[in-house]
Structure 1
Amino acid sequence: MPELPEVEVTRLGLLDALSGATIHGLVMGKALRWPLGCDPLQFVGWRILTVQRRGKYLWMPMRALVERAQGDGGLLWHLGMSGSLRWGTALGELGRHDHVQMQTDRGELRLTDPRRFGAVVWSPSLEAAPATTLLNHLGVEPLSTDFKPEVLFKGLAGRRISIKQALLAGHVVVGVGNIYCSEALFLARIAPQRPASSLTHAECARLVEAIQATLTAALAAGGSTLRDFQSAHGVNGNYQGLAHVYGRAGQACRVCTEVIEKEVQGQRATYFCRRCQSA
């Protein structure tokens, strides 16, 4: 599943191409999990202002070049479990797993998603529904200055679920998906099975640092490509080859040589080193 680094890599790959572009059309293929919420013809002649990110969502605010009754707004894009966005100048007709194609004066943007869990949703603003319905439950951005040890410590207070599951839920900090959660807990030397509320302030400080270091490294590597993900320009991510524990069950820990273990938490695979993560 594309996680925060993959979504941010996608955003960065689209930012220059789409900022200021004028939409010529929006072609819809097979239905996704949520409806677009408007007539796709309304976007003809609209200008894309920029490409932003909130958690694993991309927000594309737009402005009509002529006055229209519905005013300005934007599109929320989500890559789901297996989606990717591709940018090009001649992408051709939609294929079997292509669901949305935006045509602009600079090129075309296509959403491909074999499992159809992705989404493209119209919202009049980020402060109005349906954007608020989708985004208001999300926690703090992990790479922002707002993500501090005291924020994590306070957010975990009273939570009886494991620290791994608390991070994945996204209510305290957003976008720390399964791959990077396992990696960050390893760097912080915290067992993924620990009750979330049991972490001390000092451990939260280590974990904040580890989460930010892990996500920064993943961004530098172009994200992770385990199966479907590619950047907007068709490039695979390379972080999976740098992982300390994720996907390495049965192999030796690169720090202590203990065998990396795997278990299931909340229907998600967890990888850890029992010796390094004894806390």
Structure 2
Amino acid sequence: MPELPEVETVKRGLAPTMEGAMVQRIELRRPDLRFPLPRDFVARLTGRLIVGLARRAKYLLIDLDDGTTVISHLGMSGSFRIEEGEESDQPGEFHHARSKDKKHDHVIFHLQRPYGRGVARVIYNDPRRFGYMDLAFRNELDVYPAFRDLGPEPVGNALDAAYLAARFAGKQQPLKMALLDQKVIAGLGNIYVCEALWRSHLSPKRAVATLVTATGRPKKELEALVEAIRAVIVDAIAAGGSSLRDHIQADGTLGYFQHSFSVYDREGDSCRTPGCGGTVERMVQGGRSSFYCRRCQK
């Protein structure tokens, strides 16, 4: 499933085409994705101006000039493709390649761009149809079911060691599972949890309470974890941003942060921690693969 850095990269890739454009028409190739599309989806978007793109956790948000927001989740295999005439660009780089098979094109935004830049098509493609789109008013997003219980973003001032100490105190939950809980941190997914735990030398099996003092204050290990979370997300977003600026991965299949993975999907490889000498192992926690080095992650 695309994680926060991939969705942020998609947002940045779509913004130059979509922001400021007018929706000439919406073409629906089917009435549903993972869930049925809103019945008034076409009527509410047609003729509207796109005033901005945003992201919350792993959701792409498309803001319209009447206060409506299109909420889009990419699911397992969803992606957007930009077409201008015969040219095609697919913003966002993923650990697994995204489809460009047109039989899986389900929603097409036909756009009139400002300043005489002509027309463009933004196409949502999703072979497995686990993604979805919905509509809500921007001023009501805090109570939208998918958002109302979300924790803070992994980058930003709301996430700090004191916050996590308050959430972890007295709990024996494994650290990996706690970090995947979207009510604790919004948008932090499996790949980047594995990477952050490796960077901070913490075991995914470690009980979260062991990172908190008896008085409820964060230990230095927890402070290091917060810094590692921030760093790995920033690095991943920067990798995606570089590829978009260069336009060298327009087919959506090359490059991106997977070339920088230190532990994720590297079972059996030597640990990259200098002087460690351990081996990356894989185990399953809560139905998800955890990759770690038992020698340096305690």
TM-score (ref. length: structure 1): 0.87
Structure 2 match to 1:179: 191
Structure 2 match to 1:248: 266
Residue type matched to 1:194 in 2?
R
Structure 2 match to 1:82: 77
* Contact persistence 2:78–2:125 (CA under 8 A): yes
* Contact persistence 2:154–2:229 (CA under 8 A): yes
Structure 2 match to 1:100: 107
Of 231-240 and 247-256, the range deviating more from structure 2? 231-240
| Pair 1:36 & 2:37 matched | yes
| Pair 1:221 & 2:239 matched | yes
Aligned residue for 2:146, secondary structure, equals helix
- Which blocks of at least 5 consecutive residues in structure 2 are unaligned? 89-99, 114-119, 213-217, 242-247
Of 35-44 and 176-185, the range deviating more from structure 2? 35-44
| Pair 1:142 & 2:154 matched | yes
* Contact persistence 1:4–1:55 (CA under 8 A): yes
Structure 2 match to 1:69: none
Using the TM superposition, give the Cα deviation of residue 174 of structure 1 relative to its aligned residue in structure 2, in angstroms: 1.1
Aligned residue for 1:50, secondary structure, equals strand
Label 1:35 to 1:160 Cα distance change in 2 as closer, same or farther (>3 A). farther
Aligned residue for 2:65, secondary structure, equals strand
- Listed one character per residue, the Cα deviations across residues 87-118 of structure 1 (whole Å, up to 9, x for unaligned) are 22247998322221111113111111121110
Give the alignment of 1:100-249 within 5 angstroms.
100-106=107-113, 107-127=120-140, 132-200=144-212, 201=218, 202-222=220-240, 233-235=250-252, 236-249=254-267
Using the TM superposition, give the Cα deviation of residue 220 of structure 1 relative to its aligned residue in structure 2, in angstroms: 1.7
- Listed one character per residue, the Cα deviations across residues 30-64 of structure 1 (whole Å, up to 9, x for unaligned) are 32122332421332110001000000011111025
- The separation in 2 between residues aligned to 1:234 and 1:145, in whole angstroms, is 35
TM-score (ref. length: structure 2): 0.82
Residue type matched to 1:274 in 2?
R
Using the TM superposition, give the Cα deviation of residue 190 of structure 1 relative to its aligned residue in structure 2, in angstroms: 0.6
Label 1:118 to 1:49 Cα distance change in 2 as closer, same or farther (>3 A). same
* Contact persistence 1:29–1:94 (CA under 8 A): no
- Which blocks of at least 5 consecutive residues in structure 1 are unaligned? 65-71, 224-230
The percent of aligned pairs where both chains have the same amino acid is 37
Using the TM superposition, give the Cα deviation of residue 159 of structure 1 relative to its aligned residue in structure 2, in angstroms: 3.6
Using the TM superposition, give the Cα deviation of residue 179 of structure 1 relative to its aligned residue in structure 2, in angstroms: 0.6
- Cα root mean square deviation, aligned: 2.4
- The separation in 2 between residues aligned to 1:180 and 1:268, in whole angstroms, is 13
Using the TM superposition, give the Cα deviation of residue 168 of structure 1 relative to its aligned residue in structure 2, in angstroms: 1.0
Using the TM superposition, give the Cα deviation of residue 125 of structure 1 relative to its aligned residue in structure 2, in angstroms: 2.4
Matched length = 264
